[in-house]
Amino acid sequence: MKKGFKALVSVLVLALAGGLFAGCHHHRHSYHGNPEKMAEKLEKHLDRALSKIDATEEQRNRIHLIAGEIIEDARATRKESAGGHGRILDSLLLDNPDREYLHQRLDEKAEAMTEFGHRTVDRLIEISAVLTPAQRAELQERFESAHGAEKQ
């Protein structure tokens, strides 16, 4: 993946991953725990970024379509991984926790997140292909200006 694309990758992956892990009751009432608000924030951030790099209407439409696929995939992944929290807690609080069950649940959740991550990266590569080399370079410049050049 090109350096210039890291800004978009960072925004999408972190925002979506944060939304997936926000199912905990403690976070449900916060801004970051609300997947709808996170999706809305992501769309606004994406619009601002696309305006700054002078994306065409065709590019905007294609990128928003792909971003929408990522958001829907995140929602579905989050929904599929929901549930079972009570059984996990119950198992942890036993005198002899069910290690096999706990490890199996961890493996299932890790596999689901890995699969989601791979699908997301593939879609981000699609977004990168929609942008011109000059637009990717401008994204990189803006990212480095805002966050500092990556230390290697």
- Domain spans of the chain? 3-83+116-147
pLDDT digits 0-9 by tens, 11-24: 555 444 444 334 34
* Rounded-to-integer distance, Cα 43 and Cα 58, Å: 16
pTM of the predicted protein model? 0.70
Which among 65, 9, 19 has a CA at the least distance from the CA of 41?
Answer: 19
pLDDT digits 0-9 by tens, 82-100: 766 677 777 888 888 888 8
* Rounded-to-integer distance, Cα 8 and Cα 11, Å: 5
Token pair in block for residue 64: 């928003």
* Rounded-to-integer distance, Cα 72 and Cα 97, Å: 35
The CA-atom distances, in angstroms, between 147 and each of 7, 26, 71, 137 are 9, 30, 25, 15
